[in-house]
């Protein structure tokens, strides 16, 4: 047996002490989610945004028509996490102010993640985590199905409130992502005449794209119950259908956060239908995929987000997953694409351009 040296023992003690500190994040991590949801529902980031001066506790509680006791405790907790700050008012008392983090929680703010947080904290999305272990033990089980008795798309088709929660969350992600893609790699959309956004939800991606590139004709393609409530917009045609059967014809097929919902065989089927959709456009035809590319040797925060998204896929979809560059190469090759490039632009998602 190896002798335990003094320094090993000390090192072991350090690790144990650190573990005793770190473990509380896992035990009570949900409190962050609960308090942030509370602040969004009360509209606190929106209220603070419109103040010329720091807002005192009594001003905030009277705006919300509530007593200050519970509000104080929620604000104290959130300030401790960097959401909201405190500054002196001109009268010398302390008041709450926005921080870069709380600005991302405004209901209608640019780059807001408020709808995504409301979606992630809904029982629709939380309940499947009670079945994650069942999913791990049985490859054929689906955590979402065990929790709700149907898959997420059947549920959304039957439940307009859930459909809206999901579409709003995705649209908020889209507003941020499409702007990032247009800024980070504008050449991706050079010289295109038409774009079909496959699984385009309420059409947000195409609306932003057409604002910047008004010469592009947009086709927003999604399930019939989704496009039937999508807002009308000049330059965009909403088409209802099933991407597993066929995809409307266009110069480019754009897929943002679609393929991660499906297993390899399902992705290959969708991609074959996209290849068929762009086939009339010869060498200018391409498929643009906006998704995470998990890089095994990337030890940064973005890899962290990619891995979190992969757990989300495990809980919320039947066979979906986030993919590495090798896994993307496999599905694209099997779908008949001869060449593809991957562009990283410092975001959790990358842009993959695939050519027939």
Ligand X SMILES: C[S@@+](CC[C@H](N)C(=O)[O-])C[C@H]1O[C@@H](n2cnc3c(N)ncnc32)[C@H](O)[C@@H]1O
DSSP symbols for 37-105 = HHHHHHTHHHHHHT-SS-B-HHHHHHHTTS-HHHHHHHHHHHHHTTSSEEEE-TTS-EEEE--HHHHTT
Beta bridge partners of 149: none
Q: Are 343 and 185 in contact (CB under 8 A)?
A: yes
Catalytic residue list contains 162: no
Q: Strand, coil or helix: what is 198?
A: strand
* Contact residue for ligand X among 170, 206, 313, 314 (CB under 6 A): 170
The residue assigned the tokens 């490859």 is: 139
State the number of binding residues for ligand X (CB under 6 A): 18
Tell me which of 222, 291, 318, 322 binds ligand X, using CB under 6 A.
222
- Under rule CB under 6 A, residue 257 binds ligand X: yes
Residue 201 interacting entry, from ligand X, ligand LAOBWLLU, none, C-beta within 5 to 8 Å by type: ligand X
Q: Considering beta carbons, is residue 121 or 174 the nearer one to ligand X?
A: 174
Shortest reach from residue 163's CB to ligand LAOBWLLU, in Å: 12
Cβ proximity of 197 and 206 under 8 Å: yes
- Measured from the CB atom, is 74 or 126 closer to ligand LAOBWLLU? 126
Cβ of residue 60: shortest distance to ligand X, in angstroms?
33
CB of 177 to ligand LAOBWLLU, least distance (A): 7
Contact present, 310 and 322 (Cβ < 8 Å) = yes
Nearest C-alpha neighbor of 253 from the set 214, 291, 293, 219: 219
Query: Among 57, 213, 312, 325, which residue interacts with ligand LAOBWLLU (rule: CB under 6 A)?
Result: 312
Give the catalytic positions in this structure.
260
Binding interface with ligand X (CB under 6 A): 153, 170-171, 173-174, 199-201, 222-223, 226, 242-244, 256-258, 261
């Amino acid at each position: 047996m190896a002798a335990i040296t003094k320094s090993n023992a000390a090192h072991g003690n350090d690790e144990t002490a650190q573990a005793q500190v770190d473990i509380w994040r896992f035990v009570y991590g949900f409190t962050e989610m609960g308090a942030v949801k509370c602040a969004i529902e009360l509209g606190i980031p929106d209220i603070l945004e419109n103040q010329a001066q720091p807002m005192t506790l009594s001003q905030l509680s009277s705006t919300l028509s509530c007593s200050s006791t519970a509000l104080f405790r929620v604000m104290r907790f959130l300030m401790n996490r960097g959401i909201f700050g405190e500054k002196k008012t001109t009268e010398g008392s302390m008041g709450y102010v926005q921080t870069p983090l709380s600005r991302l929680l405004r209901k209608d703010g640019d780059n807001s993640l408020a709808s995504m947080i409301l979606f992630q904290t809904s029982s629709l999305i939380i309940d499947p985590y009670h079945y994650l272990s069942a999913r791990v033990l049985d490859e054929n089980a689906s955590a979402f199905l065990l929790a709700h008795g149907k898959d997420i798309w059947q549920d959304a088709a039957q439940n307009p409130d859930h459909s809206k929660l999901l579409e709003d969350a995705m649209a908020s992600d889209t507003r941020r992502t499409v702007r990032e893609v247009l800024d980070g790699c504008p050449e991706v959309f050079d010289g295109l005449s038409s774009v079909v956004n496959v699984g385009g939800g309420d059409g947000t991606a195409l609306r932003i794209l057409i604002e910047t590139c008004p010469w592009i004709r947009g086709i927003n393609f999604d399930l019939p119950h989704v496009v039937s409530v999508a807002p009308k917009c000049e330059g965009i045609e909403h088409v209802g259908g099933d991407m597993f059967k066929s995809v409307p014809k266009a110069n480019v097929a754009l897929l943002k956060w679609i393929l991660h919902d499906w297993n390899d065989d399902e992705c290959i089927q969708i991609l074959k239908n996209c290849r068929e959709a762009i086939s009339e456009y010869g060498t200018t035809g391409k498929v643009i995929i906006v998704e995470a590319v998990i890089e095994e040797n990337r030890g940064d925060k973005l890899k962290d987000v990619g891995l979190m998204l992969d757990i989300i896929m495990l809980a919320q979809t039947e066979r979906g997953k986030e993919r590495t560059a090798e896994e993307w190469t496999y599905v694209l090759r099997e779908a008949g694409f001869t060449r593809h490039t991957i562009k990283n632009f410092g975001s959790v998602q990358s842009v993959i351009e695939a050519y027939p």
